Amino acid sequence: MSAGNGGWELPISEGELSRLTRELDEAHREYLPAMHAAAADLTEEVRASRRRFLMGTGAVAAGLALAACSSSSTKSTAGAASSSAGAASASATASSMYTGDLQVVALATALENQAVGAYGAALTAAKAGKLGAVPPAVATFATTAMSQHADHAKAWNAVLTGAGKPAITTVPLSNQPATLQALGAVTDVGGVAKLALMLENQAAQTYLFATYNVTSPAGIATAASIAPVEAMHAAILNFVLGQYPVPDDFLPVDKAASPTLLTV
């Protein structure tokens, strides 16, 4: 075992942690094709839904134009006022940047960005000597997990931009300040692992929750292709903390993030 600052020790051998990290990377690469395919299908589903909406809007506009042509000037004035009210209503609706399944996609992207940032900050702190002695196998795991979260965020952002929405490159979550504060307070690898485990459990359970709460089959498939990798991250972190990850018959969702965390 490797001693760390304040007496922290890695409860398993570095060789074992390295093996688990390799298996994690292999699983991630195995899931990648399915993840990208499902994300592409989701993008197409969103585009098709948008086209149907625009076609419906065009039909309504054409009907209003015909009605205006046959109305009196008084009715035209009233129609103009009604049209203005309708435009205001449409503008109000458009102000909700991410709605429906895209709200879940936005939440997933923000969670992935949060994890990328947390692992990145931890690695920076480790290089600065703020976490004591950090076993190389731990740093390798953190780098691997961070890269995988970045892959997931990229896939989700492709769905958002494919739907004509802005990509999410920051962490627009109301719990981010508290997460950063907690990360800044840790002084050893054990503290970082506890925080990372919280984020990984939140992500895995959020994806599970999404599989039976989004309406899009492709959205369900995308979440289902990512959830196992997040669960593997959590399992390895349990080993790092000396907690044997006893498998659950059913993964709970009590730690799943809510879309209300989004601040966009």
Name the band, by pLDDT with cuts 50, 70 and 90, for residue 82: very low
Give the pLDDT confidence of 105-162 residue by residue, as tens digits. Answer: 999 999 999 999 999 999 999 999 999 999 999 999 999 999 999 999 999 999 999 9
For residue 222, count CB atoms less than 10 angstroms from its CB and return exposed for 0-12, middle for 13-18, buried for 19 or more: buried
Name the band, by pLDDT with cuts 50, 70 and 90, for residue 95: very low
How many angstroms separate the CA atoms of 96 and 68, rounded?
30
The two structure tokens encoding residue 143: 């780098």
pTM beyond 0.85: no
Could you tell me what percent of the chain has a pLDDT over 70? 77
SS3 151: helix
Name the band, by pLDDT with cuts 50, 70 and 90, for residue 259: very high
Of 176, 236, 154, residue with least CA distance to 200? 236
Of 162, 165, 230, 153, residue with least CA distance to 196? 230
Of 183, 232, 180, residue with least CA distance to 204? 232
Name the band, by pLDDT with cuts 50, 70 and 90, for residue 8: confident
SS3 72: coil
What per-residue confidence (pLDDT) applies to 156?
Answer: 94
Q: Which amino acid is at 230?
A: E
SS3 33: helix
Q: H helices then E strands: how many in the chain?
A: 7, 0
Torsion over CA: 58, 59, 60, 66 (sign): positive
Give the pLDDT confidence of 33-80 residue by residue, as tens digits. Answer: 989 999 999 989 888 876 654 555 444 444 444 444 444 444 444 444
Q: Mean of the pLDDT values across residues 17-45? A: 93
Name the band, by pLDDT with cuts 50, 70 and 90, for residue 250: low
The two structure tokens encoding residue 254: 């009590």
Least confident of 7-21, 178-192, 193-207, 209-223: 209-223
How many angstroms separate the CA atoms of 85 and 5, rounded?
64
What per-residue confidence (pLDDT) applies to 179?
Answer: 96
How many angstroms separate the CA atoms of 124 and 111, rounded?
20
Which residue in the block uniquely carries the two structure tokens 């925080």?
Answer: 195
Q: What Rg do the C-alpha atoms of the chain give, in angstroms?
A: 24
Q: DSSP secondary-structure letter at 259? A: G
